[in-house]
Amino acid sequence: MKDGIKIIGGKYKGRVILVPETRLRPTISMVKEAVFDIIGDKISGSSVLDLFAGSGNYGIEALSRGAYLADFVDSNKKACCVIRQNLLNINEKGNVFSLDFRNFLRRWDFQYDYIFASPPYFLGFEDEILRYIYQYNRLKKGGTLFFQIYKKVDPDLSKFNILDCRRYGITKLYLLEIKL
C-alpha cells in the first residue's frame, strides 16, 4: 500500500483512506478541498458516482459529509479491493464496480446528483466520458459533474454548461451541468 489520503471533512474527518499499489494519480487534497467547498452542505442526502475511483477518495469523502449513496467504478481489480476495504474501515456501504467506465455508464440505470470523474491522464478518454454521461443520462437535472483532467486537454463540452473552470498545477477542474 502507498501512503494513505486523509478524509478532510465530515464524520470521518482525519481518518486515512488506503491507496492501492497501482499507477494511480490520487487527487491532491487542495483539489478535493476545493470541490467539497463548492458543494458545501448540498452533499447531504445526495447520490454520487466516483468514476475512475482509484482509492474511492471522492465517494468516501462524500459519504463522510452525508451523501446517502456512493457508487464507485474502477476497471482495476486491486483498486476495487482497496475501495471495499476503505468502506469496511469506516463501516459504510457503497456499490463497487470493477468495470470499464463505458460498460458501467451504458448498463447501470441511475442518475446522480454529483459525478466525480478523474480519468488517467494521457489516455484520451475525456470526450468519450462526456459523451457517455450525456448519452445515457447519468446526471440528474441540476446535477454537477466535477471533471478533473490534464491542463492541456480541451474536451468537447458542447453538450454541457460550464459552471466553473479552475487550474491546480497540471490539473484542470471543470464544473459542468448538462445543457437542457
Q: What is the SS3 assignment for the chain?
A: CEEEEECCCHHHCCCEEEECCCCCCCCCHHHHHHHHHHHHHHHCCCEEEEECCCCCHHHHHHHHCCCCEEEEECCCHHHHHHHHHHHHHCCCCCEEECCCHHHHHHHCCCCEEEEEECCCCCCCCHHHHHHHHHHCCCEEEEEEEEEEEECCCCCCCCCEEEEEEEEECCEEEEEEEECC
- The tens digit of pLDDT for each residue in 55-71 reads 999 999 999 999 999 99
Ramachandran assignment for 106, one of left (phi > 0), alpha (psi -120 to 50 degrees), beta (any other): alpha
Residue 26 has pLDDT above 70, yes or no: no
Q: What are the cell numbers at 31?
A: 483539489
- pLDDT the model gives residue 1: 44
Residue 31 has pLDDT above 90, yes or no: no
Q: How far, in Å, CA of 7 to CA of 106, rounded?
A: 31
Q: How far, in Å, CA of 173 to CA of 179, rounded?
A: 18
Task: Compute the average pLDDT of residues 80-104.
Answer: 97
What percent of the chain shows pLDDT beyond 70?
Answer: 94
Q: Beta-carbon neighbour count of residue 135 at 10 Å?
A: 11
Q: How far, in Å, CA of 111 to CA of 96, rounded?
A: 16
Task: Compute the average pLDDT of residues 113-121.
Answer: 94
103 contact partners, CB below 8 Å, separation of at least 6: none
Beta-ladder partners of 126? none
- The tens digit of pLDDT for each residue in 131-147 reads 999 999 999 999 999 99
Task: Compute the average pLDDT of residues 8-19.
Answer: 94
Q: Considering the entire predicted model, what is its pTM? A: 0.94
Q: Which residue has the higher pLDDT, 20 or 9?
A: 9
Beta-ladder partners of 10? none
